[in-house]
Amino acid sequence: MRGKTIILGITGGIAAYKGAALCSKLVQAGFDVHVIMTEGACKFITPLTLQTLSRNPVYTDTFDERDPSVVSHIDLADKADLILVAPATANTIAKMAAGIADDMLTTTLLAATCRIVVAPAMNVHMYDHPAVVRNLNVLAERSVMFIEPETGQLACGYVAKGRLAEPETIVAAVADILAEDERKPLLGKKVLVTAGGTVERLDPVRYLTNDSSGKMGFALAEAARDFGAEVTVIAARTSASPPNGVAVVRVESAQDMLDAVMERFDSSDLIVKAAAVADYRPVVRASSKIKKSGDRLMLELEKTTDILQTLGERKTKQYLIGFAAETGDLDHYAMDKLQRKHCDMLAANDVSEEGAGFNKDTNIIRLYDKSGLIEALPIMSKRDASRRMLTIAAQRMADREGKEAGR
């Protein structure tokens, strides 16, 4: 990591004292570290400590311009490879979400175009507060990355989630993010991701759908974009917002999704079928609203085309990843789907497990290939799980290309 510049923003929570160890470890890892402290942070730890450890001046005041040849917050933002806010208080997170720039740190953050990583630390009830949850989601949609707080003894007396991740964990995560961003393992590749739940209409006002939010598909699209790919998302009904920098094609039914995917399949290198596609659709779609009649109404449904299976049968050079959302017997169903649908990789999760499944920000994924389980990922954000999945896929695609080139 020599030659990489990190801005370390320390905000005013008790975990600010850990900012010293964090700064020291970042310097030891070879980063050029420039520290910005909020007023609150200075109540817990002194700028002199951070200046000594970082061997650079510490910034605390937007208007304390020491070098007349530059504007400090712009200069810092421009030279940063990554800005790390650790610990990040609920207050700074809220300011970041709202775009408020009332101190040196938040002003620099607004001027930054580099990657931003936030390590929150606060009381568990604050962390779970809907306002904080909303703000974290707003930042996630803007591609801010998070190093989740750990569970343990909190300074306020609770034993719960909210403790700043250990400095070693934060340094390792930052190094990984920069290394992967730099390698761009999917550079030059065309990636097609499907997301959300399909909608099968009964009449102009009613439809059959499912609980998919689109979060997993969008997280995969974002990770593929960060890895250098040209990304298209075929999105059915979603409640989450798509990431910036990817092409989004909106569809409604399984048939629309099939058409949109087939149109782009031949020119794609990697396809991830994260959408929850209806297996059945109404045989008849009424052209006007179905009126209430007898005590019972029978709906007749017919099978939709299995998009993944169709792709699996047609694929040539494409790397195909399928999903399986199950409520038990994961290994068995995953391997069955992988083989039946000719996938190169299958990501399975048990949607009945706490922390996994529809409309959550986290997932617990098991990855398979034709020889069995590749990796059982622990509970992690959908974004981190996506990065891990695509790292493995990119590696396997490169190995395959290498073998073909060597033939």
Report if residue 325 touches ligand CTP, rule: CB under 6 A. Answer: yes
AA identity, residue 251: V
CB of 300 to ligand CTP, least distance (A): 18
Q: Which of 267, 249, 246, 247 is nearest to 258 (CA)?
A: 249
- Cβ-based nearer residue to ligand CTP, 93 or 307: 307
- Cβ-based nearer residue to ligand CTP, 171 or 338: 338
CA angle 367, 369, 374 (to 5 degrees): 45
Q: Which of 273, 260, 277, 265 is nearest to 315 (CA)?
A: 265
- Cβ-based nearer residue to ligand CTP, 76 or 367: 367
Q: Which two tokens stand for residue 85?
A: 């806010």
CB of 237 to ligand CTP, least distance (A): 14
Choose which of 34, 95, 237, 337 interacts with ligand CTP (CB under 6 A). Answer: 337
DSSP letter at 294? S
- Cβ-based nearer residue to ligand CTP, 64 or 263: 263
CB of 322 to ligand CTP, least distance (A): 4
Choose which of 117, 275, 320, 397 interacts with ligand CTP (CB under 6 A). Answer: 275
Residues annotated as part of the active site:
156
- How is 247-263 classified by DSSP, letter by letter? EEEE--SHHHHHHHHHH
Choose which of 128, 168, 279, 399 interacts with ligand CTP (CB under 6 A). Answer: 279
CB of 371 to ligand CTP, least distance (A): 20
* Range 297-316, binding ligand CTP (CB under 6 A): 304, 306-308
CB of 13 to ligand CTP, least distance (A): 42
Q: Which two tokens stand for residue 247?
A: 């092409």
Choose which of 44, 218, 227, 323 interacts with ligand CTP (CB under 6 A). Answer: 323
CB of 66 to ligand CTP, least distance (A): 56
Choose which of 322, 335, 356, 383 interacts with ligand CTP (CB under 6 A). Answer: 322
Residues 321, 327, 332, 338, Cα dihedral to 10°: -20
193 neighbors 274 (Cβ within 8 angstroms): yes
d(CA 165, CA 144): 17
Choose which of 34, 115, 225, 273 interacts with ligand CTP (CB under 6 A). Answer: 273
Report if residue 365 touches ligand CTP, rule: CB under 6 A. Answer: no
- Cβ-based nearer residue to ligand CTP, 58 or 233: 233
Q: Which two tokens stand for residue 231?
A: 């990304």
Choose which of 191, 195, 254, 270 interacts with ligand CTP (CB under 6 A). Answer: 254
Give the residues across from 249 on adjacent strands. Answer: 234
Neighbouring residues of 371: CB distance < 8 A, sequence distance ≥ 6: none
- Cβ-based nearer residue to ligand CTP, 134 or 340: 340
d(CA 400, CA 393): 10
- Cβ-based nearer residue to ligand CTP, 115 or 337: 337
d(CA 36, CA 44): 14
Give the residues across from 150 on adjacent strands. Answer: 163
Report if residue 220 touches ligand CTP, rule: CB under 6 A. Answer: no
- How is 18-39 classified by DSSP, letter by letter? HHHHHHHHHHHTT-EEEEEE-H
CB of 249 to ligand CTP, least distance (A): 16
Indicate the pairing of strand 345-350 with strand 319-326. Answer: parallel
Binding segment for ligand CTP (CB under 6 A), chosen from 143-151, 271-279, 370-378, 386-394, is 271-279
Considering CB under 6 A, how many residues would be counted as binding ligand CTP? 14
Q: How many other CB atoms sit within 10 Å of the CB of residue 392?
A: 17
> 280: helix, coil or strand?
strand
- How is 62-87 classified by DSSP, letter by letter? TT----TTS-HHHHHHHH-SEEEEEE
d(CA 20, CA 170): 13
CB of 143 to ligand CTP, least distance (A): 25
Choose which of 233, 234, 324, 365 interacts with ligand CTP (CB under 6 A). Answer: 324
- Cβ-based nearer residue to ligand CTP, 171 or 274: 274
Indicate the pairing of strand 32-37 with strand 5-10. Answer: parallel
Instruction: Give the footprint of ligand CTP on this chain (CB under 6 A).
Output: 254, 273, 275, 277, 279, 304, 306-308, 322-325, 337
